[in-house]
Structure 1
């Protein structure tokens, strides 16, 4: 049995939706007795509607950059949370920092958005409604991920560097285009995928990974069977065995 893991946005979903030929290839992969895993920075709540739309039924989903892991039936297998004090400090900093449009907290199952500056165009969460007050958000007991939506990608990179510098013992901050994804220390897409491989009893030699983002590096590094999506930055292409224009193209070669 083999396991194929893919990043979602920008790899499996390149454009507005997953291509039909990719969905069909993944189904063939699973019908042959193999496992398919989506590893994403998204929450399960934001991913589910797209999986249904595209006819995808992954065997496991690693969400929130490795913080929260689900099986094919939606059962929660593992959840890592930020230290509460650090989470509140993160929210406070977001409120005081120029260039933050909004922040979104995720408790592992649900996400909640708070607008920080409505004068900044919120590229990441333009239509997401506020369903809790800020007081209610700060009274939550668990935070698996906090996402800061920034005015531009340069600010996101700078903010991620600052968080990793000043909270180095407690968090991992990942710049992701206009966003900063913040999770607990030692949590990554790589740790999430390693957990799935161990849980499913799949040897690492039988794990195949494809991605396109810098934050995909941690999961690409766990196996020699690593592949880059063709839009990946050069540093990712150089560490990978080969690059592909679609997940379906990769499936046809390794099936």
Structure 2
């Protein structure tokens, strides 16, 4: 009887599995081999479900779980919600009004699966790298659900985005959780992170060995808490706390197996 515990690998997506707009076939092969051994693989991303699910299908990336919005929504392999933490709806509506007053800003919000995006002023670019198969809803449709799990926003420069984040924290009395994600600020429920979502999975699989891998500041908590990997091209602060530094996902999987 095989008593070896299963392994769970929770991977960030942009900058980790997807680099410069592409997914390496070697990483896909490594994921397939890892799962064929009875292990579990999942994505942990700042993106909303409708912002990533068709891209995973496009690349043929099979997952056993999908954690979106930096931890506020967890899906099983069939896209069913198994856990979700929402922002207080009145607080979320106040943040929408606050963002609508910002000049030259991109922002959007998510109800768990679906999201909207708004461009104010001269801001004309939604993402630096083109996303595949995104499905965008209207602001009215999202607000009418009465549920907001996360926001994403940025200005025309990193400096202006950081300044906006500081002002947002002060104006909302630090009642929101802000995550720096590349040139974007992701906003979610306070004290909800990628790590807290993985801790939920840990309770579901108490005997599994969980490892994480990421590349940016919104991956710090999960990499630190689960003694994970950092991508060599990633943020220096993440590499300082990582247990191992690897060039790509396939190298991490080779280390685990």
Task: Give the TM-score taking structure 1 as reference length.
Answer: 0.90
In the superposition, relative to structure 1, how do residues 240 and 130 fare at CA in structure 2: closer, same or farther (>3 Å)?
closer
Maintained 8 Å contact 1:124/1:179: no
Structure-1 separation of matches of 2:42 and 2:198: 8
In the superposition, relative to structure 1, how do residues 25 and 129 fare at CA in structure 2: closer, same or farther (>3 Å)?
closer
2:127 maps to 1:116: no
2:225 maps to 1:209: no
Spell out the pairing of 1:115-154 with structure 2 (5 A cutoff). Answer: 115-117=119-121, 119-124=122-127, 131-132=137-138, 134=139, 137-154=142-159
Structure-2 separation of matches of 1:191 and 1:130: 27
- Structure 2: give runs of 5+ residues left out of the alignment: 1-5
Maintained 8 Å contact 2:50/2:135: no
In the superposition, relative to structure 1, how do residues 55 and 182 fare at CA in structure 2: closer, same or farther (>3 Å)?
same
The aligned residue for residue 221 of structure 1 is: 224
Structure-1 separation of matches of 2:75 and 2:135: 25
Maintained 8 Å contact 2:104/2:119: no
Give the superposition deviation at 1:139: 3.7
1:89-114 superposed Cα distances (whole Å, 9 cap, x missing partner): 111111112231x3211100111122
Give the superposition deviation at 1:136: 5.0
The aligned residue for residue 100 of structure 2 is: 95
What RMSD in Å do the two structures reach over aligned CA positions? 2.1
Structure-2 separation of matches of 1:189 and 1:176: 12
SS, match of residue 225 in structure 2: coil
Which residue among 242, 247, 250 is the counterpart of 1:240? 242
Maintained 8 Å contact 2:65/2:75: yes
Maintained 8 Å contact 2:115/2:137: no
- Structure 1: give runs of 5+ residues left out of the alignment: none
Which residue among 60, 63, 80 is the counterpart of 2:65? 60
SS, match of residue 148 in structure 2: coil
Maintained 8 Å contact 1:161/1:173: no
Greater alpha carbon shift after TM alignment, 151-160 vs 83-92: 151-160
The aligned residue for residue 70 of structure 1 is: 75
1:146-166 superposed Cα distances (whole Å, 9 cap, x missing partner): 112321222222222232333
SS, match of residue 187 in structure 2: strand
Which residue among 145, 163, 167 is the counterpart of 1:162? 167
Task: Give the TM-score taking structure 2 as reference length.
Answer: 0.89
